[in-house]
Structure 1
Amino acid sequence: MYALSPRPACSAILSPTSTNALRVAPVSVAAGFPSPAQDYYDGAIDLTEMLVHDHAATFIVRAAGDSMTEAGISHGDELLVDRSKTPQDGDVVVAVLDGELTVKRLEVSPRGVVLRAENANHPDITVPELSDLQVWGVVTYCIHHLRGHR
């Protein structure tokens, strides 16, 4: 049976309810040709406030493997997963299929449910009707490491 609403199935690596909110002083950085007239912001921002809609339902999990590289998710990236969001067709989700966790793009059609890999070297998972599928949460952001892990 399919369960497309979030259900408890596992624990997360890090709970967002920590009192240590990450605060940074942002600087505008041009990705193209830099402009000396570009605005500069000297205040502080709270990334938790910017990225987390529901603190109690948002978790960080670490991606393992390379089945989602075309979606911009690499091995070792941290994913912000919101369990309060109702999964929709096309969302990247953390799913539990017959007790196994996976991150895939959700495809829902009259023909059934497919957990789509975003890498041609990995097969899509067509979910058999009698399988136990639970969508644990919807991936809202990916923290991609550019310098490797420390």
Structure 2
Amino acid sequence: MPIETTTLSHTVAIPLGAVHPEPPELHLPMGAARVALGFPSPAEDFLDEGIDLNQVLIRNPAASYLYRASGWSMILAGICDGDILVVDRSIEPVDGHIVIATWEGNQPTCKVLRLMPTHIELHCRNPRHTPIVLPLETEVEIYVVASVARQMHRGHGQYSGSRTISA
């Protein structure tokens, strides 16, 4: 079976660099009440203790690298174009993990790892894309995606701060 090369139809991972081994703590305020995703319920106005996003997103700074996702082949795994992928090289990849893989000079790609007895498959989480099949003898570097960070993008001219809207 021929090897399918990474194309723009797949979600590629663009290296951003290593994670700072000892980032300064940055505690941000966190609401104590959870945000309802369905019908809202009355909530009290108070804040919980702050959290440090470095501690939440990065488990092992010395082994972690950041990549930016480019493409939509992993949308059903919750990974969107432009997301920042935190890769932890200290985690042993196993079947079913979301990984960054690179082989034979191809651009790093983000996929779901499937280990088969005779080959490796890298699956998309978008039904429009077919898996990449690699023979076992292919030299492939595989690293586990440990977390994902996303910045919300707003359309041009929209208000970006918080506000109250009256009905």
Q: Is this a same-fold pair by TM over 0.5?
A: yes
Find the aligned partners of 1:58 and 1:116 in 2 and give their Cα distance: 23
Find the aligned partners of 2:127 and 2:37 in 1 and give their Cα distance: 29
Alignment of 1:13 onto 2:20: no
Query: 1:20-39 alignment to 2 at 5 Å?
Result: 20-27=24-31, 28=33, 29-36=35-42
> What do the CA deviations read for 1:86-113 (whole angstroms, capped 9, x no partner)?
0010000011121221111000122321
The aligned counterpart of 2:160 is none
**Segment drifting more, 80-89 vs 40-49:** 40-49
Give the 3-state SS of the residue equivalent to 1:50 in structure 2.
helix
The aligned counterpart of 1:50 is 56
Find the aligned partners of 2:154 and 2:83 in 1 and give their Cα distance: 10
Alignment of 1:77 onto 2:78: no
Q: Which letter does structure 2 place at the counterpart of 1:130?
A: E
- Kindly indicate whether the alpha-carbon contact (under 8 Å) linking 1:104 and 1:117 is maintained by their aligned counterparts in 2: yes
Q: Cα–Cα, structure 1 residues 109 and 148, in superposed 2: closer, same or farther, change >3 Å?
A: farther
The aligned counterpart of 1:7 is none
TM-score, L = length of structure 1: 0.78
Query: 118, 121, 124: which one pairs with 2:131?
Result: 124
The aligned counterpart of 2:102 is 96
The aligned counterpart of 1:105 is 112
Q: Which letter does structure 2 place at the counterpart of 1:77?
A: D
Give the 3-state SS of the residue equivalent to 1:94 in structure 2.
strand
Structure 2, unmatched stretches of 5+, are 1-13, 156-167
> What do the CA deviations read for 1:62-95 (whole angstroms, capped 9, x no partner)?
0011111111111111011111000010000011
Structure 1, unmatched stretches of 5+, are 1-9
Query: Which of 1 and 2 has higher RCO (CA within 8 Å, sep 6+)?
Result: 1
**Segment drifting more, 43-52 vs 18-27:** 18-27
> CA-atom RMSD, angstroms?
2.5
Identical-residue share of aligned pairs (%): 35
